[in-house]
Structure 1
Amino acid sequence: MSNLNWRKSSHSGSGANECVELAVGRAGTYIRDTKDRDGGTLCVSCRSWASFLASVKAGQLG
């Protein structure tokens, strides 16, 4: 996973450590906590991630 291009949420303030980072890889979308980058990573399929984002944008999730 060292070759993944991690990026922080655009809703994070500069220097803020209270957010998540994500990276898109072959196996799916990887998600980790900015405060604890070595603490673990969640990987979901690209299809699941796209479905989640569509639900958020549609206001179906809070």
Structure 2
Amino acid sequence: MLTRWRRLPDRDPGLPLDLLPPDWPGMAAGGLFEQLDTLLRPAAAAHAAAVVGARGRSPWVRG
């Protein structure tokens, strides 16, 4: 997910919203990324901690 998200800034011209076309996907992409991050972050952090053998709290878990 993060790899695909990183491509967006290369394609996003960084213009103010009122100068972008009405169907510009940047805002929707940002919202989707936030939703997926919230959903997937805990499982991804647990998996990474198990694979790496992290000691203590995982740095990938918010809270």
Same fold (TM over 0.5): no
TM-score w.r.t. the length of structure 1 is 0.29
Higher fraction of helix? 2
Higher strand share: 1
Give the TM-score taking structure 2 as reference length. Answer: 0.29
Larger radius of gyration: 2
